[in-house]
Every structure is written in C-alpha cells, then in structure tokens.
Structure 1
Amino acid sequence: MARPKHRSLPKPSAMFDRDWEWSELTAFATGEGAGPRLGVVSGRRRQGKSFLLHALAEATGGFYYAALEASAAESLRLLGEAMARYTGASAPPHPADWSEALELLFDLAAERPVTIVIDEFPYLVHNDPALPSRLQAILGVRAGRYVSRHPRLILCGSAMSFMGGLLSGTSPLYGRAGLDLVVHSLGYREAARFWNISDPRLAVLTHSVVGGTPAYRREFVDDDVPDGLDDFDEWVCRTVLNPARPLHGEADFLLAAEPDVRDRSLYHSALAAVATGNRTSGGIASAVGRKATDISQPLTVLKRCGLLTAEPDAFRGNRSAYRIAEPLIAFHHAVVRPSQTLLTRSSGAATVWERAQDTFLSQVVGPHFERLCREWVSWHANPETFGGLPIDVTAGSVPDPAARTSHEVDVVVRGAVGQDQGILLSIGEAKWNKVMDVRHLERLRHILDLLTARGIDTTHTRPACYSGVGFTPALQAAEARDEVILVDLQRLYGGA
C-alpha cells in the first residue's frame, strides 16, 4: 500500500536543528489521508515544543491556542476569543462546554485543511477530566462527516506523567493518534553548536550544568555563553548560582510543575540521593531515611515525569541503576541545594563554587561524562569501531567473588555481528579528569576473564578507554596493536 502523500514545508530559518521533528510534524499536518487525524506532542519543559508548533501553525495557516491555568469558564472564553481572531469573526463564539468547543474547533476545517494546535492540554483536562473522552467521541462521530476533509488536531503538553498516559491502553484516545512525537533535549554535539562552544572540554562542563535544553541559553541566561575555559567558573557564578537569574530556580520549578508530585520535600530528597551517588532503590531509601517501600511510588512518578531513569544493569538482570535525566537537576541537588542560604549573600556564589569543586567533578561531571560516552557509542560511533552494530549501550557491575568485591563497568556495548544478536561487543571505563594508562586496560581484561568464567561469550569483546584528558604513550601503543579502543574528547565531539 502506498504511503499517504504530504507536502514538504521549509523549516523556519530561526529554528536550530529539529530537522526530524519538523519533518514529522509537517508530514502529519499536510498528509492527504482522509478524515480527522489526532497527533500528540510531548516533552519536558523548555525544549522548544511551543516554538515548533507555533511555527507549524503559521506555515500551514493553522490555528494555535495555548491554554492557561484557568477555570473552565475562563478557558472556554479565551478559546472563543482566539477562534474569533483566527476567523476574523465580529463576535467570539461562546461554547457552553468542551463538547461544543470541540465541535467549533473541528468546524474550522469545514472549508480547507487546517492544523489545530492545543498547547498545554493538561491545563484543560485538569478542569474537565472527561475531555479525552469527549474528544474520542467527536473523533468517532466526525470521521464520516469529514472523510473528504483534513482537520489535523495536535495536543501538546509538558506534564510528562500525564502526556505519557494520554495514549496508553486505558485511555479513551488509545489507538486514535497518527502521531506521537516526543521532543527531546538537543544531543550533546548539537548542544555544543547551539551554545557556539568549539572547545570540547568546555562543552562537557557546560553540558554538565545545562544539558541540551535550548531555552537555557536564550531566555534563562540571556545568551551569556562562557568565553573559554578561563571564564567557566565566573559563568557558573553569574548564572546558575545567581539567585537573580531564572536558571537558578529552574530545577525547583521543573519538579513543582509536575501535577503528580505531592510531597515535594520527599521528591527533592530522593533526587538529592541520586545526585550524590546513590543508584539503587535501597541506597536511595537509606539516604532519604525511609523504607524502600515508602519511596517506590516517588521513584515511579519521577520516572514518569522524565526526571529519573532506571537503567537495567548490563550483567545483573534483577538490578537497575537510577540516574537523573536532566543535568540541571543533578547540578542543583549536588551543588546548589546544600548551600542555598549562603547563595543569598553578596559573595555567596564565589564561596559556594570554590567549596563545591570536588563535588562538581566527582558527582556531576564524572557521571555525566560516562553518560556522554554511552551516547557517543549509541549515536555517533562507526559500527566498525566495535566490530558490529551497537544496539544496547548501558552500564553494569561484575561480581569478583575471589576479591569479595564487584567491578563497575561504565560502558557496556551489546550488538549484532552478522546474524547474531546480543553479542558483547565492548566493555569500557570512562575517566573525566585522569590520564588513563595500561592499568586501566589490565582492569578491563580482568573483568573480561570474570565474564568468561561466568559463561559469557567474550570472543568479540573489545576493551575501551574513554578519557577527558588523554592516554599514556603505553596505552596508545596498545591501541596501535589493536588491543584497545581509545576515545578522547576530540573523538567524542567530532569523530566516529
């Protein structure tokens, strides 16, 4: 069956990156398929969803409505006024409820194809929980009436816990959407270009604080970009550690904006526990001072909100490692939150930052660098580097019974070699601030011996060392003999 045709719309010149997102949105909005279509766009706050959708509405001559936190009556009135501005009507319509409002919205497509965007959709559902059911009903009824027309309705929201369930199997809208697009943060390479940072070491340090969220450069620090490595410390003090800048309080807002978060103090404590190195539910519970059963729900909510990830251990199937998904939150809970009172003083930022250097490097940059190394393997490494196509990239721990310890492995790569799937392609160690030497390679070889003793096929497995400051000549010589893969910052940011 031939795919429905769609028009290709030029991406706005002011839009950085987002080529794939723009392509998917324009394909949805201009597709020639008959009848009404529903799309859902989600993503954490500040990623540029509204900018994308507003640009889409403009490019297609569509209707864009951004909901507010308002009563049901005010929301309906504001929608009517927005529709009057769009149609040029002399008087706005006054829908009595959301069923009537949806009828009016769909009528916008009576004469021509129309893209209809409802941004911050969760605000509307808060006042009318039956709104998804109302929408499901009108989609079913209107399909026959609009079979030769093209209304395209896009619902958007930043409340990830809500948006994640909007199309789930228990939702009235399950199976109704032709688009389910998540707008993620910019990748670390794209973020460096967006911040106009060419020095890879500075790029990692900056990304460890603000990640790939576009709004943090423009709206939150007013295009204040660190001017080289020598300016990084001052940049941190005048931006994220400065209570007068909006970036300073953003981490608190991200948590407060999630409707499923009830006891914010408990959630902050859980995030702080993860930020300071606790990766298991038991470790988090111990740091928080609660039983593991008491924090199960908060951890689940934080995962649904997109603030935490739970990544399975590569070698221990019954164990997962919790990690903070947004770098700014990790920075806040490791550096800012413990010294919040001191930061209100005139020289507080400089004092806090001087004291926090070790914490920043060990608890923020180190784990973040490990994450970037895994992302490099997933998105940028040439498959020939590992002798196969990387499919699953994570971290893991390998028990060492003889030494009564376990060894952490920062980068574990599994993939495909020919027709064989799930082959262990590589195990790697990442060091942000340490020149790596042959001892690190020997450690990886020891871990490979432990894995082989457990019956794991390591015949295709290549050791890899990832360093933020480089490698000794002896380790480089081992690379020349094809005994190890070496990945430095230049390769991380520019090579495969």
Structure 2
Amino acid sequence: MHTSDTLIDRDKEIARLHRLLARSEPQLVLMYGRRRVGKTYLLNRAWDSVGASTFYFTASETTAAQNRAALLDTYAAWSGEQVHPEDYPTWRSVFRLLLGHVSTQPLVITIDEFQYLGEDHRDLNAVASELNAAWEMRRPPRPLLFILAGSAVRTLESLNDGGSPLYGRFAWQTRLRPFDYWHAGELASFDDVRDRARAYGIFGGTPRYLAPVDATKHLAENVIDLVLEPTGEVRELVQTALLQEQGLRDISKYVAILRAIGGGRTNFNEIAQRAGVDADSSLREKIERLIELDYVRAGRRLGAKPKEPYRYDVSDPAMRFYYDAIAPIESMLATQNPRAIWEQRVAPMLDGYMGLIFEGMVEEAYYRLADVLGLPLVREWGRWEGVDRQRTSLEMDIACPLLDDRVLTGAIKWNTKPVDVDVHSKHLGMLDRLVDAGIGWAHDANRPDSPLLYVAAGGFTDRFRQAATASRDEVYLWTIDDLYQPHEKEGTATATG
C-alpha cells in the first residue's frame, strides 16, 4: 500500500511482474486477495519505472453484456480508437481486440474483479474459455502482460485448477495478503514502537484500515476517532467487511461465528453453542471459508494426535479487536462519550489484549529475521497447552519443531519492566514436568542443544540474561525494539551461546 503515494511491502510482487514483462513474450498472470488488501493500488502503480503502456478495467457486479460494453467504452477512451460495440459481440472478440493492441511500449492489460465477467461459475468458465481461445492465436513476440485480478479468492483460484480452460496458462499465480506487523508499522509509523505494536493490534494489517491512521496524533485520538466513534471510518469498514466478500451467504451466521471465536470460544462445539448454530458440516464449511479469507486461523498444539480437534482464533487483528473489545460495548458506544469509554474501558484492557497479539507478532518476526540472524528453520510454528502428571495446567508460548529435529521453546511477555530470572526458571521447570508426564517432544526440547527464544517487550534483567545463556548452547533474547529494527540492523537482535 502507500505512504505519500509510495508502495509498501510489495517489492517482491513488483519485481516478479517486471521480470515477466521483460520476457518479451505474452504472459498471463493471476492475482487475487480479499478486499482492501491493496490489489488495485499495486496494479495501478507497479509500472511507473518501466515505461509500460497500461490498460486497466474494473468489472462490476452486473450483467456480462453491460460489463462488455463498459470495457469497450473504457478501451476506446484509453486507446483513442473508434470502437463499435456491435463489432465485438463475444468475449473472444473483445479479448482479441485487447491482445491485438499496437503499442511501441511494453503493454500491460489488467482486468480487475474478473469474476464479474460471468454471472455464475459456469458462465465464468465460458469466459475463461473465450480468453483461452484468444490467447492461443499466434502473434508476433512482444512484451505483454495480461493480468486477471479479483477479490473472490476461491473463484479466482479455480481459474488455474485442473479442468479450467486456463489451467497451466498462467506464468504466475499469487495471492496478496494483509501486511505483517512490520509493514503495518510503516503506515502507522508512531515514534513509540509500543504504539506501533498497539496500532497493529487494533487496526491490523489491512492497508485500507491503516490508511486513515495519523501517526502525528496520539494513538488514543486515532482509536477514538476511527474505532470508538459510532461513525468511525475503520469501525464501519470492519463491521461491513463480510458484506463485501463475494460468495458469502448467511452473513449473520458468519458474524455470529466471529463473535463466538472473538469471545473466547475456540473449539468447534463451543463455537456452535455460542453462535446458536448446529455443530454440523455447514458450520465447518463456514469456518473453513473464514480461514481461506484470513479472518480465522486453526491450530493444534505440538504433538497433537491426528484426531485431536483444532482450536480456532481470529487471525485478523482488526477483527479480533472489534469482536473482543468493541462488539461487547456497542450499546455503550451508541449512547456515551467515546473518550470516556477509551479512558475507563478500552485503555485499561489494552495491555491484556496485546499479550496474544504480541505472540502473533513474534511468529511473524521469527520468519522475518530468520535469514539475517541465521535462525534455525522451523517445521511448524506452535505453542502448547495441557496438563502435567498432577493435572496442573501448563502453557508454553513457543513450542516449535525444527528442521534438524531439535525443538525450539520459550516465552513471550508483553511487559514494561525487565523480566527477571523466575521466567526462565519457570520455563525450564515446565519442560521437566512435561518430560515427566511422558510428552514426547519435551525430551528433545530439554536437550542442551535445543534453542531457547525469549521475547520480552520491556527487556530482561542481567540475572535473567546470565541464567538463560548459561543454561543452553543457543539462546535468543529479543525486546520489542529488536522486532522493529530496520532490515540493515536486524542482526542486533541478541543471539548468544
């Protein structure tokens, strides 16, 4: 997305598009992602440095005939050519027109919201077949990209499935996702990195939610104006997000599912009970759909048996904040002063809320820092919850099997004062109790060569550092400042051993 009209976190996508355009052969590209992640912004601004001639058309949710007429009108205005709609009665003839456009520059043709060119799946398949027929016509070699884009994730993905007329035609298929905490911080660029983290926890990584954030104002002012006010811009965007997703029916049930998960119901039966729906295949399909759209995440603890049920949480921070902090007090917000509600209700609960958000940030940071710090490769990021032999509950913030068969474990703290050695002692004690309880992976995690990762937003005492580094061959100690170090300084995150 952008700050001062510059793109953020799309360097890899732009580089790939430029390489494809430089091949001097026509290339077909498929790009999709849920609404408001910045597809349109990217596809309209990716070509400034390559001198390409670009044609861009956005289809609308109307009939195929009206979309075809609108596309021809847009093409005529862009090209300066006289175009008579009666000469282009089929999609094949329209695609031939586009592909036959004469240009002395590299040519980029983008049809956004491509799914609207067909009124249903069968109809869209026919449109894809028409494009395939036009694409197969022999033409002189030239630098040309034909990009199909859209927000109907499942529908766009199906264009490259086996059996689709365009199967195997795409030189590149990619999905745009929301920003991680780091790139969200480039938009919500508060001087205090804690405020950057809090902004990520509240507004998430969707560029459209981050765009109105004004980092020259206090974070509280942004939250009050954009989220707590009854007409707050971001609040309305989050509330209507599901309505904007094509193909979702029974929106009220999807909302009920998100409310249930956001309210702490994390297993399937709890979600069904809280949402007031049957615990059946229909509910499972709806949860899977929310996972596909990056609103919900499913996970199981390390070492889970194949039949152990998944646990679900709201993965989009903006959605999580809305359903955790805002939805329960909507009636209050409609009748009472939003600033008073911030001061008396929201601000006091924010640090508690940020604990789980910070755990997600650490996962993102690990992958971001892996190459720079030479971190061990993770098979699967995870955490662990369960009981020991005495049925005492245990929680481990980090429990990750590594590619080299070791196990990375550790703790994550959203603290303000430096954590002391008791956090390290407690962690080692939990590992010993898990070994005693016969938890298989704990034996590998307890080996001297298995690494430890501790992340404490407010840092560590000297006693903690001495005890942790003396206990293992490989120990990583990160603060919140380390998570926000620029790329060229990422190596400053502490790795000892």
Same fold flag (TM > 0.5): yes
Alignment partner, residue 69 of structure 1: 61
Residues 195-230 of structure 1: CA distance to partner in whole angstroms, max 9, x if unpaired?
222322111101101122333343xx2x52264xxx
Residues 31-430 of structure 1: pairs in structure 2 closer than 5 A:
31-33=23-25, 36-56=26-46, 59-94=51-86, 95-108=88-101, 113-126=106-119, 129-140=122-133, 142-146=135-139, 148-218=141-211, 221=212, 223-225=213-215, 227=217, 231-293=218-280, 294-318=282-306, 319-345=309-335, 347-348=337-338, 350-351=340-341, 354-357=344-347, 359-362=349-352, 364-381=353-370, 389-416=376-403, 421-424=404-407, 426-430=408-412
The reply on whether 1:447 has 2:437 as its aligned counterpart is no
**Distance in 2, Cα, partners of 1:450 & 1:169:** 50
CA distance in structure 2 between the aligned counterparts of 1:261 and 1:445, rounded to whole angstroms: 47
In 2, distance between residues paired with 1:487 and 1:205? 18
Counterpart-to-counterpart distance in 2, 1:181 and 1:488:
33
8 A contact 2:53–2:105 mirrored in 1: no
Runs of 5+ consecutive residues of structure 1 not aligned to the other structure: 1-11
Distance 1:232 1:197, change over 3 A: closer
SS of equivalent residue, structure 1 residue 392: coil
Q: Aligned-pair distance for 1:317?
A: 4.2
Paired AA for residue 376 in structure 1: A
Please, which of 477, 483, 492 is the counterpart of residue 466 of structure 2?
477
| SS of the residue 2:240 aligns to | helix
Is 1:438 equivalent to 2:399 in the alignment? Answer: no
Residues 369, 432 of structure 1: 8 Å contact kept: yes
TM-score, normalised via structure 2 length: 0.85
TM-score normalised to the size of structure 1? 0.85
More deviation in 132-141 or 184-193?
Answer: 132-141
Tell me by how many angstroms 1:127 deviates: 5.8
Give the AA of the match of 2:335. R
Where structure 2 has 5 or more consecutive residues not aligned to the other structure, the ranges are none
Of 469, 478, 482, 1:487 maps to 478
Aligned residues of 1:159 and 1:305 also touching (Cα < 8 A): no
Q: What per-residue deviation string (whole Å, max 9, x for no partner) do you get for residues 112-158 of structure 1?
A: 75211001112223367423343335425643412634542101112
Amino acid at match of 2:356: P
Kindly provide the amino acid, as one letter, of the partner of residue 285 in structure 2: Q
Counterpart contact for 1:120–1:156, Cα < 8 Å: yes
**What is the CA–CA distance in structure 2 between the aligned matches of 1:313 and 1:383, rounded to whole Å?**
28
Q: 1:427: how far off?
A: 0.9
- How many pairs align? 469
What displacement does 1:369 show? 0.5
Q: 1:338 to 1:440 in 2, by over 3 A?
A: same
CA distance 1:408–1:304, change in 2 (3 Å): same
Q: Distance in 2 between matches of 1:206 and 1:286?
A: 32
Q: Which moved more, 1:429-438 or 1:244-253?
A: 429-438
Q: Deviations over 1:330-373 (max 9, x none)?
A: 111112222223323361453266223455443x4221100001
Structure 2 residue aligned with 1:7: none
Secondary structure in 1 matching 2:379:
strand
Contact 2:414 2:456 (C-alpha < 8 Å) held by counterparts = yes
3-state DSSP of counterpart to 1:181: strand
Structure 2 distance, partners of 1:217, 1:45, is 14
Q: Is the 8 A contact 1:331 1:360 kept in 2?
A: no
Report if aligned partners of 1:376, 1:492 keep a CA contact under 8 Å in 2: yes
